[in-house]
Amino acid sequence: MKTKFPFKSGSPEASLWAQIDREALPRHIAIILDGNGRWAQRRRQPRIAGHRAGVRRVREIVEFCARIHLPALTLFAFSLDNWKRPQGETEFLMQLLRQYIRRELDYMRRNNVRLRVIGRWQELPAAVRADVAQAIESTAANTGLQVVVALNYSGRGELVDTVRRLFIDMQRNGRVPITEANLAAHLDAADLPDPDLLIRTSGEMRISNFLLWQLAYTEIWVTETLWPDFTPRHLLEAILDFQRRERRYGGLADGAGKSHEDSPSEVRRPIRRPQPARR
């Protein structure tokens, strides 16, 4: 889909957007939202201030992704492991989640954004479940950007739940071949393509139990920028870096294995590694 030029002429975002192949945007970007607590600590503020700032950033990035017609965006919002945090903080995060859903639901409806949730969100407090379920149902027919929120989620937990669903399918329908395709078909949000690009903020070099199956061939881009400081400019830098890479999926580069006599002028394009975004 061709996209109108969405930035003010002369802005850093406009310069980056002009370099991007708009016909080859990632189909699916996943982001690990990290650094809210450190953002607050550096400003001598309570951790909850960092979480509030992080939610405001979620809104900006979602609106930006909708504007450039990105098909799918998955955000790692709350991990199963996050319950290890102090009770006051987890209760605040649940309250913040409800506020976000209620405030953004009208925007999603008006802008054809579909909200989806993966993880064990049905185990969340009843009030949270009710708000999440209403938002999912209210946006289910939308056909634009799909915002997938990983909520009460872990990659290992998803794989366990996937095997359970596959086992139930086998009990109901008789013998079902255990293949990669069948397993993938029972994942959360199985209809979506695997992420092309994973972004992690705050400089941490790990995937933190996130989308363990789906990230098998995903390109990873890490920035030192903390999530509350992450802007559309950083996202454009990540997309531009992604488009400069060569994805081989375990195979060889185009022309690799040919003799120089067969293609004397061939030059292999180097794989570009992620560079920290400017802050």
Is residue 187 within 8 Å of residue 164, measured between CB atoms? no
Please state, in angstroms and rounded to a whole number, the distance separating the CA atoms of residues 57 and 230: 7
Is residue 49 within 8 Å of residue 265, measured between CB atoms? no
| Catalytic pick among 82, 111, 142, 182 | 82
Buried b (16+ CB within 10 A) or exposed e, 180-203: eeebeebbbbeebebbbbbbbbbe
The angle at the Cα of 132, spanning 103 to 90, to the nearest 5 degrees, equals: 85
Is residue 34 among the annotated active site residues? yes
Cα dist from 175 to 79, 163, 172, whole Å: 34, 14, 9
| Catalytic pick among 21, 34, 142, 191 | 34
Is residue 182 among the annotated active site residues? no
Residue positions annotated with a catalytic role: 34, 82
